[in-house]
Structure formats: C-alpha cells, structure tokens
Structure 1
Amino acid sequence: MFQACSYKNKVDSTYYCQKLRFSCIQSNKVVNFKTTKGDFEVELFGKDNPVTVSNFLENIDNDIYVNQKFYKIINFTQIRFVHGGVNPKNKFYFEGNQNLKKTSLSIPLEIKFKEESKPRYNYQIKNPNEIENLVNTFENGSIAMVKSFNNKSSSTEFFFVTTNIPELDGRYSIFGKIIKGLDVLKKLNKEDYIKAVQIIN
C-alpha cells in the first residue's frame, strides 16, 4: 500500500525556482512547436511540475530551441523516442550563446503523487508499487526531460514518446503531452528541426 507520509519534502518548488533564478509557474500552459514537418501543440503540466515547466518556459523565452535539430530519434517496433533541445556536450553552444542564461546544466528530478500536495524532488521510484500513484505517466505524445544524473534532469534536453512505457514511469520528469498534431511528431526524422517554440497561453 502506498504511504503518502513516507517521504518528507524538505524543500518545495519555490526553493528550486529561487535557486535556479527563474519565476515559478503554478499553472498549466500550452505551447506550439513549429517544426520543418509542421506544427504541434503541447500542454505543459505546471500545476504538477512547476520547476520543470518553469525551466522549460524560460528556455523558450530565451530562444534556445530556435533552429535546434531533433538530434536523436530511436525507433523500435512499438515505440519511438524523439530527442530535442540543447545537448550539454556541445560546449561551443553553452560557452558561446549569450541567450543561454542557465545557472546549472541540471534541474531536480520532479515527480508528483496523487495523494501528495507537492511534487517530490530528486526522488526516483524504485518500488514498482508506487507507479500506480503517479499523477503523470508515459503515454502517446508525452514529453519528459532527459536525465543528467540518477536524480537530476537536464535543464535543456527533452524527449517525446509515442506510446505508454510503464518501465520508465517515475524515473523521468514527465511535464507535458501533445494535445494537437501528434501525427507531426511521428513524421520527424534527424534532418528535421524546431523552427521555434511559442507560448500560446
């Protein structure tokens, strides 16, 4: 049985937003990805993942996803992973781009449980019984941040999936889902790129 009180949140989203120096968003937002294959819209789960969404919106405001390639696409029989964003291994981009005002290349892993009012930070699920209590799980069109360490997410890299993947639930910060234009995601290849990401509301 799930124990909601077994984990103590020592810090909350406000702490991390202040530490990472961006405004904390506490509401869901919709953004539009303009790509070379067409557009698609993503709802960002700011209510459940305020730090991850606030970081992503800051990246959009700073135009760091403009003209960025989908640098890795993994195709399996039943699933597809589409990676995008700015790869920290590209040191030239990080050192030479004036728009990238990141205080850290990583942000805390952020997941939310149904019985808890606040997200958990730097906590990765190890007990499979906890998965059924997650607010967000991997579904067709989900977007999550790439991992940088065991309990950390990249501050710039993200990926989309095209099916349910319970094996990965609770191990990544799932912070949104495509709500329009899912067919565009399935057409993308490594030659395609993001023209821009725009905040709709």
Structure 2
Amino acid sequence: MRLKFSRFLVAFLLIGSLMLAGCNAQEVGNNSSPTSTTAVETTTTASTEATSVSQTTSESNPGMTNSLPRLEGKATVVITVKGSPITVEVDGTNAPITAGNFVDLVQKGVYDGTVFHRVVREPQPFVVQGGDPQSKDPKSDRNLWGTGGYVDPKTNNERRIPLEIKPKGEKEPIYGKTLESARITKPPELQHKQGAVAMARSQQPDSASSQFYFALADLGFLDGNYAVFGYVTQGFDVVNQIQQGDRIDSAEVTQGAENLKTGQS
C-alpha cells in the first residue's frame, strides 16, 4: 500500500508542476491544485464510446480551429541546443492543429533563443520544458519564465490552441476535452513514450500556446490529458543533457514545410 501511495503522490506532484508551468501570467494566481489523473471507468460500452467521440468532435469550436495553422501530413524539425541537433518528427496526421501551430512558430523563429525553464529529473525522469518567448530576453523577470505564450503581432493577443487528442482507431481528434472527461476509454494515437514532444498548458484544456516539453521517460499517466504532437527521432542524448537555463540556438523545419496550411484568419 505504501508503494502504491508513493507512486500516486509522485504522479500527482509531477502533473501539478506541468500544469502550473503552462499558465499565463493572469492564471498563475487563480489556478487551484490540479487533480490527479485517474483511469476512466471501464464500464463504458463500445457504442457509448463511439458516440462520445462523434459528439465531442462536433462540439469543438470550428471557428477556432479553422483560424489556426494546420499540418496536413508530417514534417521534420531540427532543434539545436548548445550546438547539438535534436531531430523531431512532427505528426500532423494525428494532431493537425497542435503540429501546425508548432511548425508555424518554428518558421516564425519564435523558439530561437528561448530557454528551457523547467527540467525535472527527480524523483524520477519527467520532462524538459521550454518555449516561452519571454525567456528570449535575458533581462526579463525569470520568475515569469514559463508563464507566457506566443503573442500574434497582428492582433496583440496570445494565440491559444485547443486540446487535441485523437483516440486510437478514430478518424478525427477530439477537441477541448481530456479523454477522461470525454468518457473515452481508448488510448490516444500519440502517447507519452520516451522522446515524445507535447504541449504544456494550464488547467484549462484550451490554454496551450507555444510552450512544449520533451518526455524523458514513458509517462503513460499523462496520456489523454496533454497533446503529444511528435517524437524525437535523433538526438535524444542531447535532450538528456539539457539543463535548466539552456537556450535553443535555433529551430528549423527541414522537411515537410509544404504540408503547413495557414489559417483562414
């Protein structure tokens, strides 16, 4: 019993740190402690499950998703840290909005010079997180690193993307809900395996912007709660060497740029 409680407590604390790191400045003071990730009840039938997927997809905000970049297919992004490359295969087939947002921000140079503000390896390997544009300025308040996102210069508003998770075997992702809240018992197509790349967010499902993280180990307790959009295919040893405060030298789309489709607005 003590071992089970210990594992639960570790998962609870790790999920909490990930959620809070994805907040924007206005949300930091308002967020309560996150609840732990628990298994969805297994009594859901296959027919109910299929209905839930359909309803959740149709209830998503089409105006929001239509205005965002999409990646129709796959792309390769090379992130260079301290002179060493990390190759990421970005999967727009299973996460078109999340992958499109990331590739678009790479092309805009948003990640160049940003800091990995959170590195969690204890009590067990967890994540390396970065992507806050505020961290580009070494004179900025370091206490705010990890609270910001990409601000569109055309609107002066922070771009937010919906939580996007595609259940295994389904044609379309669901938006704006975790798999648990959508009562989906199927696992996601893109899972938190070691080397997964996913979006950080606050407790609000549709709050992801530019911050992302690398999974340092298999993190199955995050599956269905955070949007994975790709995997490290080369350079995971570089990821393992990243320390808090290290900067991204550059991020570049090396293949698949033609698969990026810009939003309608």
TM above 0.5, one fold?
Answer: yes
TM-score, normalised to structure 2, is 0.66
Is the 8 Å Cα contact of residues 80 and 248 (structure 2) preserved in structure 1? yes
Offset of 1:57 from its aligned partner? Answer: 1.1
Gaps of 5+ in 2: 1-44, 135-143, 256-265
Is the 8 Å Cα contact of residues 149 and 209 (structure 2) preserved in structure 1? no
Is the 8 Å Cα contact of residues 85 and 156 (structure 1) preserved in structure 2? yes
Pick the aligned partner of 1:18 from 63, 66, 70.
Answer: 66
Is the 8 Å Cα contact of residues 178 and 205 (structure 2) preserved in structure 1? yes
Matched residue pairs, number?
Answer: 197
Gaps of 5+ in 1: none
Residues 198/51 of structure 1: CA separation in 2 closer, same or farther (3 Å cut): same
Name the one with the larger helix percent.
2
Question: Is 1:170 aligned to 2:224, yes or no?
Answer: yes
Is the 8 Å Cα contact of residues 113 and 119 (structure 1) preserved in structure 2? yes
Question: Is 1:182 aligned to 2:236, yes or no?
Answer: yes
* Whole-angstrom distance in 2 between the partners of 1:117 and 1:94: 30
Offset of 1:151 from its aligned partner? Answer: 1.4
Q: Report the 3-state secondary structure (helix = DSSP H, G, I; strand = E; otherwise coil) of the residue aligned with 1:107.
A: coil
* Whole-angstrom distance in 2 between the partners of 1:38 and 1:100: 33
Question: Is 1:159 aligned to 2:213, yes or no?
Answer: yes
2:201 paired residue number = 147
TM-score, normalised to structure 1, is 0.85
Runs (4+) of structure 1 moved beyond 4 Å?
A: 11-15, 87-90, 97-103, 129-132
Q: CA RMSD for the aligned pairs?
A: 3.0
Residues 168/102 of structure 1: CA separation in 2 closer, same or farther (3 Å cut): farther
Residues 161/101 of structure 1: CA separation in 2 closer, same or farther (3 Å cut): farther
2:80 paired residue number = 34
The answer to which of 148-157 and 26-35 deviates more is: 148-157
Q: Report the 3-state secondary structure (helix = DSSP H, G, I; strand = E; otherwise coil) of the residue aligned with 1:133.
A: coil
Offset of 1:117 from its aligned partner? Answer: 0.6
Residues 131/45 of structure 1: CA separation in 2 closer, same or farther (3 Å cut): farther
Offset of 1:87 from its aligned partner? Answer: 5.8
2:27 paired residue number = none
**Deviations 1:16-57 (CA, angstroms, capped at 9, x unpaired):** 44333x3x2210111000111511100111001000011111
1:52 paired residue number = 98
Residues 175/131 of structure 1: CA separation in 2 closer, same or farther (3 Å cut): farther
The answer to which of 118-127 and 9-18 deviates more is: 9-18
Offset of 1:78 from its aligned partner? Answer: 3.3
Pick the aligned partner of 2:245 from 168, 188, 191.
Answer: 191
1:108 paired residue number = 162
Structure 1 letter corresponding to 2:67: K
* Whole-angstrom distance in 1 between the partners of 2:154 and 2:149: 7
Structure 1 letter corresponding to 2:119: I
Q: Report the 3-state secondary structure (helix = DSSP H, G, I; strand = E; otherwise coil) of the residue aligned with 2:192.
A: coil
* Whole-angstrom distance in 2 between the partners of 1:178 and 1:148: 24
Q: Report the 3-state secondary structure (helix = DSSP H, G, I; strand = E; otherwise coil) of the residue aligned with 1:79.
A: coil
Question: Is 1:72 aligned to 2:118, yes or no?
Answer: yes
* Whole-angstrom distance in 1 between the partners of 2:156 and 2:78: 22
Is the 8 Å Cα contact of residues 43 and 177 (structure 1) preserved in structure 2? yes
Is the radius of gyration larger for structure 1 or structure 2? 2
Q: Report the 3-state secondary structure (helix = DSSP H, G, I; strand = E; otherwise coil) of the residue aligned with 2:161.
A: strand
Q: Report the 3-state secondary structure (helix = DSSP H, G, I; strand = E; otherwise coil) of the residue aligned with 2:88.
A: strand
